[in-house]
Amino acid sequence: MKKLIVTLILIIPLILTGCWDKVEIEDRAFVMAIGIDTSNQAKNYVVTFQFPNVKQVSSAAGGGGGGGGQPNFSISEIGDTVFSASRHVSTRLDKRLFLGHTKAVILGKDVVSNRDKFLEVLDTLDRSYELSRKLRLLVTDGKAQDILLKNYKFDPDIGAYIDDIFKQYNRTSIFPNIDYNKITKSLHDTNGNAIIPVISAGKDELKIAGSAIIKNYRLAGWMSDGENMGYMWLMGFVKGGDITFDMPTTDGKEVKVPFNITNTVMKRQVTEQNGKIIYKLKYDVEGEVTEYSFQKHGEMFDTNVLSTMEKKADGVIEKMINESLKKFQKDLKVDMIGVGDYIEKYNPSLWSKVGPTWNEKFPDVVVEPIVTAHIRRIGLFR
């Protein structure tokens, strides 16, 4: 009996305490997007948080009135660290910050241009137990604060809006569909190298296109839309999107022909020949021609015309790949396309020989892309 009483005394407090750290939902400030910039003042960082106006959103969902105000609001705070800035926001909000629903973190150019500050920010993000590893990490060629404080004509919830744009990445393939987890894994595995999507703000809209190249935890350069698609080809990420090639006509002119990519299969092979590393990439690309100005009725049924179009598509894709290769091998001299990882995984004996000096070896790797495009559909024809 005595043992039973003692056991109950130990167990009952555990049952009755419930969720000891529970915070009521109306007492939480849900952060949907975070912008981080460096500061020119005494403090190191300017951190901007964007919140949905819960009253306005719930009022709109219920069909009632009375919510009033803007559908979202943003607050910027300065601090010696990102963490301290988040704590200082509590002096201006009557609710507790909650980062569990955060969809995007935007870093200003100044942050990624400074290795020490970039590492500090990454450390803060890594330590946050509330932040999801699936959130979107982006860089802007300016101030992140400017993007979050701007008024837009579309969905004002920038975090959710950014997340939805990424879901459509395969319609263009001009930015990499990578999340925070993949970016930090790349940084840690390669000692500071990664590709981060770029976000920019127009007059009243947002755009995600291109990438920032991070080398040794510092901004090393930018990739344009076209260069970014070349990178996507090299990584085998392209599953959709479109390219355009020039098609000669019988009167000596040229017309622009769009080729809509519907599927791609990439195969890789690496060999060593006479001390040279040969990295072969073979692509089978399927797609459809969505527009073409006919000169003669039924021209699209001519196999010679189709064959010419397929070769034109091959050339455009190979050109994109080679331009991106030049960026990585000749300009930046950094292996962002995974050649070293592939050798290490599938040819360990070769990697044991070249791995210790891979940074010096990579610019001399011979990369041979071979593209074979197939036109599967020519669109409606009457």
Residue 62's pLDDT band (boundaries 50, 70, 90)?
low
36 shares its domain with 175: yes
237 shares its domain with 218: no
Q: Which one has a higher pLDDT value, 11 or 217?
A: 217
168 shares its domain with 266: no
CATH number, position 362: 3.30.300.210
Domain contains 62: no
Mean pLDDT confidence for 256-272: 93
The closest alpha carbon to 371, from 255, 219, 229, belongs to 229
Residue 162 to residue 231: CA distance in whole angstroms? 21
Least confident of 11-20, 293-302, 334-343: 11-20
| Number of domains the chain contains | 2
In terms of residue numbers, what domain contains 44? Answer: 27-56+70-223
299 shares its domain with 316: yes
Whole-prediction pTM: 0.82
274 shares its domain with 357: yes
237 shares its domain with 142: no
DSSP letter (8 states) at residue 299: G
Specify the pLDDT at position 267.
96
Residue 61's pLDDT band (boundaries 50, 70, 90)?
low
Domain contains 184: yes
Domain boundary among 162, 195, 223: 223
Specify the pLDDT at position 156.
67
Q: Distance from first CA to last CA of the chain, Å, rounded?
A: 92
Domain contains 133: yes
151 shares its domain with 263: no
Q: What phi and psi values does residue 355 have, to the nearest 5 degrees?
A: -55, -45
330 shares its domain with 290: yes
Domain boundary among 195, 223, 251: 223
Specify the pLDDT at position 268.
95
186 shares its domain with 268: no
Beta strands in the chain (DSSP E): 28-30, 33-38, 45-52, 72-79, 96-98, 104-107, 136-139, 194-201, 206-214, 219-223, 242-248, 254-273, 276-289, 366-377
Mean pLDDT confidence for 123-151: 92
H or E element: which one contains 239? none
Domain boundary among 223, 243, 259: 223
